[in-house]
Structure 1
Amino acid sequence: MQESVTYQAILAEGLAEGRAEEVRRVAMNLLKEGMSIEIVSKVTGLTVEQVQQLSSQETGNVRE
């Protein structure tokens, strides 16, 4: 059965979003374990700025 181009595009987008969410989850766990932002960036492939954002979000969640 051949899937439509639209279906394939939606599926690919969903898979990409899932992978990106998993990378963010791993980065958050590494930050919680005390790894530096630079190391988390290297390990996950996220930019330093993206990891800093995640770190700020985590700090904000702890205070709430």
Structure 2
Amino acid sequence: MVYIDKENLPLSWAELEVIFRKEGEEKGEKKGIEKGIDQGIEKGREQERKSVARNMLEEGMSVELVAKCVALSIDEVKKVAEEMSK
């Protein structure tokens, strides 16, 4: 929120533009940080699902069952299995 000191009025349009641009940049930066955090959390969750899938595959469970249990697609579980065999 922009607070303008009434003692320093009147502000020119250029000064107002600078104030509002700065506020917009701050809001944009905050949104960008929040989005980055959300993406990092989701990436961590996906890595955990793949780790659990690896463990389940090592225990001899079928690709289909693993996919169903860890909320990955069958193709994603197959990729995990392929990575394990390398």
Q: TM-score range by the shorter chain?
A: 0.7 to 0.9
Where in structure 1 do 4 or more consecutive aligned residues deviate above 2 Å? none
Q: When the two structures are superposed, what TM-score results if normalisation uses the length of structure 2?
A: 0.64
Name the SS for the 1:46 alignment partner: coil
**Structure of greater Rg:** 2
Are 1:58 and 2:81 matched, yes or no? Answer: no
Structure 1 residue runs of 5 or longer lacking an equivalent are none
Q: State the distance in 2 between where 1:53 and 1:10 align.
A: 26
Are 1:7 and 2:33 matched, yes or no? Answer: yes
Superposed displacement of residue 30, structure 1: 0.3
Structure 2 residue runs of 5 or longer lacking an equivalent are 1-28
Q: When the two structures are superposed, what TM-score results if normalisation uses the length of structure 1?
A: 0.85
Cα RMSD between the aligned structures? 1.2
Number of equivalenced pairs: 58
